[in-house]
Amino acid sequence: MENGQIAGIFDEIADLLELKQDNPFRIRSYRNAARTIRDLPHRLEDFAAKGGDPTELPSIGEAIAKKIHQILETGTCPRLEELRQQTPARLTTLMHVPGLGPRKTIQLYNQLGIDTLDALKKACDEHRIRDLPGMGEKTEQNILKGINTLKSAAGRFLYKVAAEHAASLGRHLDAIPAIKRWEVAGSFRRRKETIGDLDILVRADDRAKATAQILDYAGISEVTSRGEERLSVRLDSGLQIDLRFFEPQSFGSALLYFTGSKAHNIALRKRVQQRQWKLNEYGLFTGSRRLAGKTEQSIYRRLNLPWIPPELREDRGELEAAENNSLPKLIEHANIRGDLHCHTKHSDGAGSIEQMAQAARDRGYSYLGITDHSKLVTVANGLDEERLRRQADHIRKLNQSLDDFWLLAGVEVDILKDGRLDLGEKLLAGLDWVIASIHYHLDLDEKKMTDRLLAAVGSGVVHCLGHPFNRIIGKRDPLRFDVDKVFDACRRHSVFIEINAQPDRLDLPDTYCQRALEAGLSFAIGTDAHRESGLDLMPFGVAVARRGWVEKRNVINASTTKQLRKKIQAHS
């Protein structure tokens, strides 16, 4: 079993408990366990098979460890089955409709018998929801919007989930002697935030043999098509895989074609047609003569273009930039020198400050920002002023014993409904690094939300705006605010904008990065780690930055410690 599947079971238990309005701390402990498992760098199944003890992992106690063993043996656990018995099957889908949530889901089920998405949509269309206690016209509109969000996400997989499946299938492909080379193309190679299906290109010296051996893969639930050139399968998780065979002389052109995006291909083909050539997955041709095809570079070169990194291939100006020799020099994971967003045991994290610092040093970092939650987030044990002051003192003492490493005393302070901050400005002004984030009151109208963000950005004590849209991909709609106004305020007040690397957040989304750059902003790529292994999520944030044309010089945590100190000082 993949980690994502095991984590999914704990999330479902948490969902079902939420529907029962069970103890929020118990719900949180299942969510935390799910997150630990999702973030693990290795497969939990392998770890357990080698005799590893799950209780050594953060956020996993005896009770959850027992369930992990049950799940690994049977694919499920009695607690889940029992909860499923008690709750109508589809309510867990319904509760994830953005704007609905567990409480309203139960209310709609009890009062109107709604237990499917279709029934929910019908009830909204017929205006039957607005008259229920606590609901109104706006609720109906929000639910309709939420249904659309959910539908547009349906069938797509988070990049990280697709990556786990790709890695697992990849190990299988590596072990097949008939396969000489394989590459994942498509949206996966472009590192999009969600993936519709995996497109894999294969070079094999015996295709029939290779096909037979690919089909031995244990995770396949269905073969959807099978031919000489192509094999399509569906995995147990529902993820569709398209495998296509190519010969070496065409491998580069196939990689170019199937990496896409479609829009990039079309724009590129225009340049091909101007020369009266032809470009397809088999090569670049003039008449029937092959001009290039072995590598992507050879094709771009023939068109007088430098090689374009896959993350940029979205027809957002990359071909023009390539022509002018002004492609960005994209940020790389190796450029990152520290992480400026993490949580510890003091709020809802699993590690101590010392453990997180050591984990950061183990990753070669020069600094780490400790940014626990503030008191508003009671379910996460957020810090009040007294606890934060003590934490900051502790961090400053620790710093004296740390050579060549800077532990920043920081906080992730909540932005209240009216734009004030959850902790006193005097205390905040004395910290090294203040992230301000929204976690509550998400449904303000655009004007109020804009004013709220402007107030926080303009407070003078905030260094960074955390996960600006507060979206959860496919589950919670982004906040609505006037992006240009907020970006402009960030520039005026030298506030950095976060690219949160949590795989289901990826916030700032890549599509806004270019706009933020144009507005003159710089970024902080933060993992929002809640345990040591959470620091390893950094590449997911870097992928967003790369898709957003971001360079090393635009990222504050690609600075040296000296530069970082200077940049932060310049702020205050």
Binding site for Zn ion (CB under 5 A): 437
Closest approach of Zn ion to the CB of residue 469, in Å: 12
Q: Considering the rule CB under 6 A, would residue 534 count as an interface residue with ligand DGT?
A: no
Whether 201 and 258 have beta carbons less than 8 Å apart is answered as yes
Q: What is the DSSP letter of 415?
A: B
Which amino acid is residue 485, in one-letter code? K
Q: Which is nearer to Ca ion, 232 or 335 (CB)?
A: 232
Residue with tokens 């390539």: 322
Helix axes 24-39, 62-74, angle to 10 degrees: 60
Closest approach of ligand DGT to the CB of residue 313, in Å: 8
Q: Which is nearer to ligand DGT, 240 or 358 (CB)?
A: 240
Name residues contacting ligand DGT, limited to 404-463 (CB under 6 A). none
Closest approach of ligand DGT to the CB of residue 261, in Å: 5
The Cα 519–Cα 100 span in angstroms is 35
Q: Which residues here bind Ca ion, judged by CB under 5 A?
A: 186-187, 197, 199, 242
Q: Which is nearer to Ca ion, 87 or 240 (CB)?
A: 240
Q: Please select the residue that binds ligand DGT; options are 195, 330, 395, 568, rule is CB under 6 A.
A: 195
Closest approach of Zn ion to the CB of residue 466, in Å: 5
Q: Please select the residue that binds ligand DGT; options are 58, 98, 99, 186, rule is CB under 6 A.
A: 186
Closest approach of ligand DGT to the CB of residue 154, in Å: 12
Tokens of 150: 């959910």
Kindly determine how many residues on this chain lie close enough to bind ligand DGT according to the rule CB under 6 A. Answer: 14
Q: Considering the rule CB under 6 A, would residue 319 count as an interface residue with ligand DGT?
A: no
| Cα–Cα separations (whole angstroms), residue 107 to 12, 128, 137 | 20, 13, 16
The one of ligand DGT, Zn ion, Ca ion, none whose footprint includes residue 437, by CB under 5 to 8 A per kind, is: Zn ion
Q: Which is nearer to Ca ion, 87 or 261 (CB)?
A: 261
The Cα 441–Cα 330 span in angstroms is 36
- What are phi and psi for residue 423, nearest 5 degrees? -130, 160
Q: Which is nearer to ligand DGT, 74 or 152 (CB)?
A: 152
Q: Considering the rule CB under 6 A, would residue 466 count as an interface residue with ligand DGT?
A: no
Cβ neighbours of residue 513 under 8 Å, at least 6 residues apart? 499, 523, 544, 545, 547, 548, 549, 550
Which residues, listed in sequence order, are joined to residue 330 by a DSSP beta bridge? 551
Q: Which is nearer to Ca ion, 197 or 314 (CB)?
A: 197
Q: Which is nearer to ligand DGT, 70 or 280 (CB)?
A: 280
Q: Considering the rule CB under 6 A, would residue 258 count as an interface residue with ligand DGT?
A: yes
The one of Ca ion, Zn ion, ligand DGT, none whose footprint includes residue 396, by CB under 5 to 8 A per kind, is: none
Q: Considering the rule CB under 6 A, would residue 314 count as an interface residue with ligand DGT?
A: no
Q: Please select the residue that binds ligand DGT; options are 260, 283, 310, 468, rule is CB under 6 A.
A: 260
Query: Which pairing describes strands 283-286 and 278-280: parallel, antiparallel, or unpaired?
Result: antiparallel
The Cα 201–Cα 37 span in angstroms is 30
Letters for 132-171 (x = contact with ligand DGT by CB under 6 A, - = none) are: ----------------------------------------
The one of Zn ion, Ca ion, ligand DGT, none whose footprint includes residue 215, by CB under 5 to 8 A per kind, is: none
Q: Which is nearer to ligand DGT, 116 or 261 (CB)?
A: 261
Q: Considering the rule CB under 6 A, would residue 197 count as an interface residue with ligand DGT?
A: yes
User: How many CB atoms sit inside 10 A of residue 77's CB?
Assistant: 21
Radius of gyration of the chain (CA): 25
Whether 508 and 469 have beta carbons less than 8 Å apart is answered as yes
Q: Which is nearer to Ca ion, 18 or 242 (CB)?
A: 242
Which SS3 state, helix, strand or coil, does residue 273 take? helix
Q: What is the DSSP string of 156-200?
A: -EEHHHHHHHHHHHHHHHHT-TTEEEEEE-HHHHTT-SEESEEEE
Residue with tokens 């292994």: 533
Closest approach of ligand DGT to the CB of residue 321, in Å: 20
Q: Which is nearer to Zn ion, 380 or 516 (CB)?
A: 380
The one of ligand DGT, Zn ion, Ca ion, none whose footprint includes residue 258, by CB under 5 to 8 A per kind, is: ligand DGT
Cβ neighbours of residue 187 under 8 Å, at least 6 residues apart? 194, 195, 196, 260, 261
Which SS3 state, helix, strand or coil, does residue 548 take? coil
Closest approach of ligand DGT to the CB of residue 162, in Å: 9
- What are phi and psi for residue 355, nearest 5 degrees? -65, -40
Whether 297 and 252 have beta carbons less than 8 Å apart is answered as yes
Closest approach of Zn ion to the CB of residue 528, in Å: 6
Q: Considering the rule CB under 6 A, would residue 564 count as an interface residue with ligand DGT?
A: no
The Cα 498–Cα 279 span in angstroms is 40
* Tally of CA atoms within 13 A in the half-sphere of 25 that contains its CB: 3
Give the CB-nearest residue to ligand DGT.
Answer: 260
Q: Which is nearer to Zn ion, 142 or 347 (CB)?
A: 347
Tokens of 203: 């070079």
Q: Considering the rule CB under 6 A, would residue 36 count as an interface residue with ligand DGT?
A: no
Residues that bind ligand DGT (CB under 6 A): 186-187, 192, 195-197, 199, 257-258, 260-262, 265-266
